[in-house]
Amino acid sequence: MAERIDGKAVAAEVVEKVRTAADALRAKTGVQTGLAVVIVGEDPASQVYVASKGRKAKECGFHSVEHALPEDTSEDDLVALIERLNADPAIHGILVQLPLPKHIDEGRIIQLIDPDKDVDGFHFINVGKLGTGEVATAFVPCTPAGSMLLIERVLGRDLSGKTAVVVGRSNIVGKPMFNLLLAANATVTVAHSRTADLPALCRTADILVAAVGRPQMIKGDWIKPGAVVIDVGINRIPAPERGEGKTRLVGDVDFDGAEKVAGAITPVPGGVGPMTIAMLMANSVVSAYRAAGEEPPVF
């Protein structure tokens, strides 16, 4: 049976390191790490995420600000808010919760965020740094950054000689994951819905990252014996065994089948999920250190 990679435990370690680093920066320079979260509209899932980010920021000792705007906020008003946050020296990280309402150009808003405060890692400057191997100075998107930390816990930082397959090519997970694995010296393939014979390709992977958003798509017999499996998917499916109308969370990997074959695997929930918010906190404190002219911690 595979080792279960405990994302909750690793995330707690990261948050503790963030809290210690934030306290040290404040004691030395008087700078308190500031994180601003912007949410537009009433999307229930987004509100849950924003609330959990706010709680975690306070736990880390941050100056935490939330801007909750109505659904009908104009693009110009949102632009004005981003520009104010860019200019505010007390704010080191700006996070705009996606998705935005349809009348707002998401791409334009993301690219307006100061790249030095882009703790989500979506600005083209941070994307470009990551794509050219400048990992140390880039803000890396939080989910892939957290996934890499979990891989490092099992295999170490140097992945020379390892073959990795990333299933999914999104800008938020698949592509940055590819670049991080490549920077760690793995040999990487990105697969997606149009890949021929996906099961055979997955079976070549020492490291398999699933980020497709399709529940339990990757089966146990797709996995190379002993592989490290990182399941980024969070999908809600019916769970009639729990009662009428009940649901449960599953990943993109068929966990029960995969656990029998893999060497190590992340569960859902409790794997990659907690790492995402932890790495958002890490990026924020790094931004504060850079703004203060201090050497930032490494996570």
Catalytic site positions: 53, 97, 120
Specify the amino acid at residue 168: G
Which residues contact residue 248 at a Cβ distance below 8 angstroms, ignoring those fewer than 6 apart? Answer: 236, 237, 239, 242
Q: At 29, list the tokens.
A: 């320079």
Kind plus residue range of the DSSP H or E element containing 238 = strand 235-238
For 35: left if phi > 0, alpha if psi spans -120 to 50, otherwise beta; the answer is beta
170 is in an annotated binding site: yes
Strand partners, 238: 247
Task: Output the CA angle 31-113-48, nearest 5 degrees.
Answer: 80
Q: At 24, list the tokens.
A: 């040290």
**HEC secondary structure over 258-295:** HHCCCCEECCCCCCHHHHHHHHHHHHHHHHHHHHCCCC
234 is in an annotated binding site: yes
The answer, yes or no, to whether the previous bond of 144 is cis (omega within 30 of 0) is no
* Structure-token match 């014996």, residue found: 225
Show binding-site residues: 168-170, 234
Show binding-site residues for NADP(+): 168-170, 234
